[in-house]
Amino acid sequence: MAITRRTLLTASAATLAAPAIVRAQGSAPIRIGEINSYTAVPAFTVPYRNGWQLAVEQVNAAGGVLGRKIEVISRDDAGKPPDAIRLAGELINDQKVDLLAGGFLSNIGLALGDFAAHQKKLYVAGEPLTDALVWQDGNRYTYRLRPSTYMQAAMLIADAAKLGAKRWVTVAPNYEYGTSAVKWFKKLLAEKQPGVQFVGDQLPALGKIDAGATVAALAEAKPDAIFNVTFGADLTNFVRQGNTRGLFEGRHVVSVLTGEPEYLAPLGAEAPSGWIVTGYPVDSVKDAANLKFINDYKAKFKEMPKMGSVVGHALITSIVAGIAKSGSTDSEKMADGFAGASFATPFGQCMWRALDHQSTMGTFVGRTAVKDGHGEMVDWRYVDGASALPSDAEVKALRHA
């Protein structure tokens, strides 16, 4: 999916409506300072980088925005919040970027959001999923693209409740993303299914799971169902040990992100069957926007896109739409102007909410299956992000808590 005609017309209209602004800002490229954990989490961030590179090419080929091309200055934070803050300072002070973007880990996203508020510089978070980024710690300079931990949990609750399981255990990485996802899943499931019990929690350190011990502890709690939030290498180790020790036999599993190609593909024939997951069924989507994006991505990179590819691509289109609506790259004007901007993604049209700066981008919910020796998502449906958010009153209360 390239840039839609609607998006291009919006950008063009903004340019024509403000010729004085364009002249004042000149024709120099609009510089985006992008920071991500490329060496720490390559399975997601390398496809993500491919996605934003494709989008930059497409935007610039279509004339850019406000009469200017887009340029991305990218840095690797190696998964370390102090490095991310140092690099953000360099991008603003030395590279003179117009705004900051990116982030993978939730703790890094929170650090960059706080930095943006103090520096009064716009930050558009692509991947960090913590709700605090736009709610408890939200600020006027921070926007977030992907569905948050609350939204991901909310998308799974209806299916989880239908299982009728009474005794649940959870396993999640011990940092903001993991603890937040578990908190919301417990709260939302208890509201949907009164009387449900959570009889055990495992919180291994990110990237350092002792999968054997974790699986043994979960099994000892004798659960009916498991809520899993691990991803990457931790997920692979957890699934292998769980299969070996029979943890999943006769038990339901509900899992965040496991249906994303980055995490499902490495499992190969060991991929679980029947897990209820969020993800991206890239091999079987048929809608026009997805197919166009997939074809464009394959033509450039000679491989199928992953969820990271979608996030990287949508990050750029969402920024372009926000700049077009703002009519400027001034931080104060963008902080207000992004609100309400509509943008195209491979998953369809989305928008930046004025209330909390969360986008309405959604994701897919389905079940895992193994076919021809590899895992895939089946029985899936797309869930619009707008349908998975709490009420405006609840959001307002969280933002001012």
Question: How far apart, in whole angstroms, are the C-alpha atoms of residue 347 and residue 345?
Answer: 5
User: What pLDDT shows up at residue 220?
Assistant: 97
Per-residue pLDDT tens for 113-133? Answer: 999 999 999 999 999 999 999
User: Does an H or E element contain 370, and which?
Assistant: strand 363-371
Give the pLDDT confidence of 241-279 residue by residue, as tens digits: 999 999 999 999 999 999 999 999 999 999 999 999 999
How do residues 17-46 score in pLDDT, each as one tens digit? Answer: 444 444 445 689 999 999 999 999 999 999
CB 68 within 8 A of CB 30: yes
Q: String of b and e for 269-283 (b: at least 16 CB within 10 Å)?
A: ebbbeebbbbbbbbe
Backbone phi and psi for residue 181, each to the nearest 5 degrees, phi listed first: -60, -45
Per-residue model confidence (pLDDT) at position 400: 75
Taken in order of first residue, the domains within the chain and their CATH numbers are 5-147+285-362 (3.40.50.2300), 150-284+364-399 (3.40.50.2300)
In the predicted structure, residue 2 carries a pLDDT above the cut 70:
no
Provide the pLDDT for residue 25: 52
CB 360 within 8 A of CB 349: no
pLDDT at 15 over 90: no
Could you tell me which residues come within 8 angstroms of residue 362 by beta carbon, excluding any fewer than 6 positions away?
147, 151, 155, 347, 350, 382, 383, 384, 385, 386, 387, 388
Q: Is the pLDDT of residue 9 over 90?
A: no
pLDDT in tens, 43-99: 999 999 999 999 999 999 999 999 999 999 999 999 999 999 999 999 999 999 999
For 61, what's the count of Cα atoms within 13 Å in the CB-facing half-sphere?
Answer: 9
Edge-first strand order for the sheet with 70-76 is 70-76, 30-36, 99-102, 123-125, 142-144
Q: What is the mean pLDDT of residues 301-323?
A: 98
